Amino acid sequence: MKKEIKSEELAGLLEGKTVEESLQALISLFPGKIIFSTSFGFEDQVLTHFIFKNELPIEVITIDTGRIFHETYMVFNETIKKYQKKIKVYFPDREAIEKMVTEKGPFSFYYSKENRLECCRLRKVVPLNRALAGKKCWISGIRADQSDNRGRMNIVEYDEGRKMFKVHPLFYWSFDDVTEFIKKNNIPYNFLHNKGFVSIGCEPCTRAVKPGEDFRAGRWWWEHGREKECGLHIK
C-alpha cells in the first residue's frame, strides 16, 4: 500500500521550490487529483497564469455565487480568451437559493451573522465541496500577510473535514511581488483592484478599503470581529 504523506513532509518537500516546481511536485504526488479554485483576484490570476502557461494538468474551477461583480465576469472572460483554456464553473443549488431568497429576501446577509454564514454556505461552500469531491489536493492563492487568520495558516495544511491537502504556493509572496508579477507578465486582472478593492468577493459584501486598512476590511464590513472568512478557509 502506498505510504500516506503528512502535511509537514509535504511542506518540507516544497521548501525552497519555485511556484512552478511546487506545482510540478504536487502533480507527481497527486496525479489527476489536484484542483485550483479561482475567484479572479490578483493572487489567483498569478496561479492561473502558472497553470495555463505551462499547460499543467490541474483542474481550474470557479464558484459563481450569483452575486459577483460585473468586473469579475470581465476578468474571467479575458482570462479564458488570453490562455484559450476552460475554467469550470460551479453554481449553487437552485432550490436552496430560491428558498432562502423567497423566505428572507435578497439582502438577508446584512441582518445577522447567521444569515450571512447561511448565504456563504449555500452560495460558496456547498458548490465548492461539490467541486472538491474526490480530489486530494486543493491549491489556493492565500498569502500569509493577507490577514491575521491567514498569517496563522501554513503553506501546507490538511483539511480534516474534506480529507485533502490545501497548498498555498504564494504563501510567502508579498503584495508587491504579486502586482509586479501581474504587470511583468501582462496578466488580466480585476479592474476593481484599481479602485481600492483588495480582496474581492460578492458585490453586496465587498467594498474598497482605505490605505493602511486590513486586507480583509472590505469584506462583510458591517460585522465586528477579526475573522473575515466565508467558511472556505477558516482555520
CA distance 38 to 229: 16
Among 4-12, 46-54, 98-106, 119-127, which window interacts with ligand SF4 (CB under 6 A)?
119-127
Handedness of CA 73, 76, 81, 86 (dihedral sign): negative
Q: CB neighbours of 80 closer than 8 A, spacing ≥ 6?
A: 86, 87
Which one of 6, 113, 204, 227 is in contact with ligand SF4 (CB under 6 A)? 204
Under rule CB under 6 A, residue 232 binds ligand SF4:
no
Q: What grid cell was written down for 24?
A: 510540478
E strand or H helix at 69: none
Largest CA distance in the chain: 54
Instruction: Name which of 64, 38, 67, 91 is nearest 204 in CA terms.
Output: 67
Which one of 34, 63, 119, 167 is in contact with ligand SF4 (CB under 6 A)? 119
CA distance 158 to 141: 16
In this structure, which amino acid lies at residue 217?
A
What string of DSSP letters covers 201-223?
A: -BGGGB----TTS-TTTTBSTTS
Which one of 58, 60, 120, 156 is in contact with ligand SF4 (CB under 6 A)? 120
Beta bridge partner(s), residue 88: 61
**Beta carbon nearer to ligand SF4, 141 or 201:** 201
Which one of 40, 69, 83, 109 is in contact with ligand SF4 (CB under 6 A)? 109
Handedness of CA 160, 164, 170, 172 (dihedral sign): positive
Under rule CB under 6 A, residue 230 binds ligand SF4:
yes
Under rule CB under 6 A, residue 228 binds ligand SF4:
no
Q: In angstroms, what is the minimal distance from the CB of 70 to ligand SF4?
A: 15
Among 2-10, 33-41, 74-82, 196-204, which window interacts with ligand SF4 (CB under 6 A)?
196-204
**Residue 47 in contact with residue 139, Cβ under 8 Å?**
yes
**Beta carbon nearer to ligand SF4, 50 or 220:** 220
**Beta carbon nearer to ligand SF4, 123 or 216:** 123
Which residues from 86-105 bind ligand SF4, rule CB under 6 A?
none
Q: In angstroms, what is the minimal distance from the CB of 122 to ligand SF4?
A: 7
**Beta carbon nearer to ligand SF4, 34 or 202:** 202
119 included as an active-site residue: no
Q: Which chain residues interact with ligand SF4 by CB under 6 A? A: 65, 67, 109, 116, 119-120, 123-124, 201-202, 204-205, 230
